[in-house]
Structure 1
Amino acid sequence: MSRPVVLVGAPGSGKSTTGALLAERLGVPFTDVDTEIEQRAGRSIAAIFADDGEPAFRALEEQVTAELLERPGVLSLGGGAVLSPVTRAALRGHRVVWLQVSAATAVSRVGLNEARPLLLGNVRGRLIKLLAERTPLYAEVATERVETDARPPEEVVELLLAPEKSRA
């Protein structure tokens, strides 16, 4: 595997959990872009948002994502990474799996997670708005889609490992 399998989707879709399991099954590295950004910056994403603002975070996210797309493995993008036209263009030619999730399921999975700065306050309302804004962008970059609402991460991984004909 010379190019990464890239997972995209809304917060709570299961990108990090599924990505780690998929990488383990494939015997390749797993990288979560948000975790990588926090390690490089030496602070949380919430702190980056608070101190530097969303545009600064998005610029850093774009840069780190572009770099990581050059490495093999499984890569989980932040939920808003698709907002960047540069990132969307960089995803062309990659296997990009959109982990689809409903707002209700995402809310139950995310809860009141303070590490997600864009979801502070009315979590359900914010998720509904994010899904509405980002769904066309996820659709634009995805080469595959997997509905995750009623599926545990292990089942999603099995679907991703199955021959393409059985995924239809």
Structure 2
Amino acid sequence: MRNYKSDRNIILIGMPGTGKTTVGELLSEMLGYGFIDTDVLVTHKTGKTPKQLVEEYGREYFIRVQDEVVLDIRSGNCVISTGGGLVHSDIAMSHLKKTGEIIFLNTSYQVIEDRMDASRKLVRTGGTLKDLYNERIPLYNKYADRVIECDGSEPDAICRKIIGFFENSADVFIQP
């Protein structure tokens, strides 16, 4: 495998259920990178999952905590899997954009719905997964440096697509 010669990160964004964590872990292994999951960072910082934080303290509190953990990321040569709602934070996304390449794992609504259990489909009071999908897709496209179409692709194939983007950019990858 080629080595990424800069200390920039690969940041994965997309809806819940797109496979950001699965793809991120595999991609980090393939590239010899570290792996960071922003939802795990939030849980380590607070002792509660993102869902618990929203339910107990509200969305605004969760966003503040999420921003804090993202702004603390200073590592390079990492694959970063983000929480699906991180695109609602300009400050967090701007910080990540400075540290690396943002990859949108684009997955159709139907595939996401099929992957998620009923408890994850009601995302907030009065909202449905479809509402959230329609709200976030433009934001993912806004921040993405690259878009990977994921429908019908296994995680290893998605990783190969991502690596292919970088291999075709001579200033990013070097031969072993």
- The TM-score range, normalised by the shorter chain, is 0.7 to 0.9
Q: 1:82 deviation in Å?
A: 0.6
Cα deviation digits, residues 118-167 of structure 1 (max 9, x gap): 63799xx72221121111111111000001111011100011112237xx
2:31 and 2:97 mapped to 1: Cα distance?
A: 22
**What is the root-mean-square deviation of aligned Cα atoms in Å?**
2.0
What percent of counterpart residues are identical?
A: 29
2:113 matched residue in structure 1: 107
Cα deviation digits, residues 39-97 of structure 1 (max 9, x gap): 111122222112111100011111111222x2121001100001012123223342000
* 2:75 aligned partner, one-letter code: R
1:65 and 1:2 mapped to 2: Cα distance?
A: 17
- Point out where structure 1 has 5 or more consecutive residues left out of the alignment: none
CA 1:92–1:31: 2 relative to 1, 3 Å: closer
2:19 and 2:122 mapped to 1: Cα distance?
A: 17
| Number of residue equivalences | 160
Q: 1:104 deviation in Å?
A: 0.6
1:88 matched residue in structure 2: 93
1:31 matched residue in structure 2: 36
1:102 and 1:96 mapped to 2: Cα distance?
A: 19
Tell me if the contact between 2:36 and 2:81 (Cα under 8 Å) persists in the aligned partners.
yes
1:111 and 1:47 mapped to 2: Cα distance?
A: 17
2:162 and 2:89 mapped to 1: Cα distance?
A: 26
Residues 57-72 of structure 1: matches in 2 within 5 Å? 57-68=62-73, 70-72=74-76
Residues 140-159 of structure 1: matches in 2 within 5 Å? 140-159=142-161
Tell me if the contact between 1:46 and 1:117 (Cα under 8 Å) persists in the aligned partners.
no
2:85 and 2:41 mapped to 1: Cα distance?
A: 15
* 1:164 aligned partner, one-letter code: N
1:151 and 1:121 mapped to 2: Cα distance?
A: 32
* 2:28 aligned partner, one-letter code: A
Tell me if the contact between 1:33 and 1:78 (Cα under 8 Å) persists in the aligned partners.
yes
2:104 matched residue in structure 1: 98
Of residues 131, 134, 137, the one that matches 2:133 is 131
Tell me if the contact between 1:91 and 1:141 (Cα under 8 Å) persists in the aligned partners.
no
Q: Which has the higher strand share?
A: 2
Tell me if the contact between 1:49 and 1:117 (Cα under 8 Å) persists in the aligned partners.
no
- TM-score, with structure 2 as normaliser: 0.83
* 2:63 aligned partner, one-letter code: R
Structure showing greater radius of gyration is 2
1:42 matched residue in structure 2: 47
